[in-house]
Amino acid sequence: MRIVFAGTPGFSVPCLNALIEAEGMDVVGVVSQPDRKSGRGMKLSPTPVKQAAIDAGVDVITPEKIRDNDEALAWLESKQADMLVVVAFGMILPKSWLDAVTVAPVNVHASLLPRWRGAAPIERSLLAGDNETGVCIMQMEEGLDTGAVYACRTLPITAMTTGSELWFKLAPMGAALLVETLPKIAAGLQPEPQQQAGVTYAKKITNEERIIDWSMSAAEVDRLVRCFSPRPGVRTMCNGKWLKLIAGELLPVTTDLNQGSVVAVDAALDISCSEASVYRITELQPEGKKAMSAADFLRGAQLRVGEPLS
């Protein structure tokens, strides 16, 4: 089975490596996004998928655009691929690409479709308070994650689940399901159309969404912190400087203090939220400093009960 793989972030790498290692599958080419500046020195660095392709000795291209790019399309057609496998590529593929393979263009999507079509399904499932998520192997078409589904696998979301935990569990889960499903597709497996009910869209996460609004409930704050901990983290203001929140918990207590007010400054930092709920910050990182426990932070912060955070 000749395969061209398209992907960009670290989430895609387990799928690529699984295909490279699988018997009966030949990854003949990889498409990824161009090198981007990163790190303190802002040096150009290859995407994780490009680096994995280089390490494996697989031919890789990184076009600035896919649509109306005759050179990139000619490269794809030259590979004479049976399958085009896409995992978090980050560009919408035109119909000419989907039609350039002989068996099927296939996408690995990190949600239980039709819930959370779009760019940020992992984050949106956690932020919404879903009880489960998963991965789907989907037949690609021109719509945004609208194609029929070949196979799904579920993963529970608990009150302790973090975004990084979902990321690192769903990636190998998707890789295993992909390697299991591709031979079935080649043998004639037909996908099931997605249900029309229950469609939701996972729009991209904005920087503004990672700034805490203390008018949210403590449960919503807790999901926000867990979703983005430890990186890139969520922030709030304290005494005119940023605090990144790394860990905390929802407390089973209530308060009559205004939203965003300090409720307690003992071994942890408790903050009032909407619906009289309270969120306890246990680990944080002050602006310009290393991460520390809330107890260590409070020794020098001189915060008082009733004092508001921004």
Q: Closest Cα to residue 283, out of 300, 296, 299, 272?
A: 296
For each of the domains in the chain, give its residue range(s) and CATH number, in order of start. 2-202 (3.40.50.170), 207-301 (3.10.25.10)
Strand partners, 6: 31, 86
- The confidence score (pLDDT) of residue 302 equals 84
- The confidence score (pLDDT) of residue 38 equals 77
246-259 pLDDT, tens digit per residue, is 999 999 999 999 99
Concatenating the DSSP letter of every residue in the chain gives: -EEEEEE-SGGGHHHHHHHHHSTT-EEEEEE-PPPEEETTTTEEE--HHHHHHHHHT--EE--S--TT-HHHHHHHHHT--SEEEEES--SPPPHHHHTTSSSEEEEEESS-TTTTEES-HHHHHHHTT-SEEEEEEEE--SSSS-S-EEEEEEEE--TT--HHHHHHHHHHHHHHHHHHHHHHHHTTPPPBPPPSTT--EEPPPPGGGGB--TTSBHHHHHHHHHHHTTTT-EEEEETTEEEEEEEEEEEEEE--SPTTBEEEESSSEEEE-BTTEEEEEEEEEETTS--EEHHHHHHHH---TTPBP-
- The confidence score (pLDDT) of residue 236 equals 96
Amino acid at 232: P
76 is in an annotated binding site: no
286 is in an annotated binding site: no
126 is in an annotated binding site: no
- The confidence score (pLDDT) of residue 3 equals 98
The low-confidence residues of the chain, meaning pLDDT below 70, are 310
155 is in an annotated binding site: no
Contact, 202 vs 119, CB < 8 A? yes
- The confidence score (pLDDT) of residue 104 equals 97
- The confidence score (pLDDT) of residue 222 equals 98
Contact, 7 vs 88, CB < 8 A? yes
- The confidence score (pLDDT) of residue 289 equals 94
176-214 pLDDT, tens digit per residue, is 999 999 999 999 999 999 999 999 999 999 999 999 999
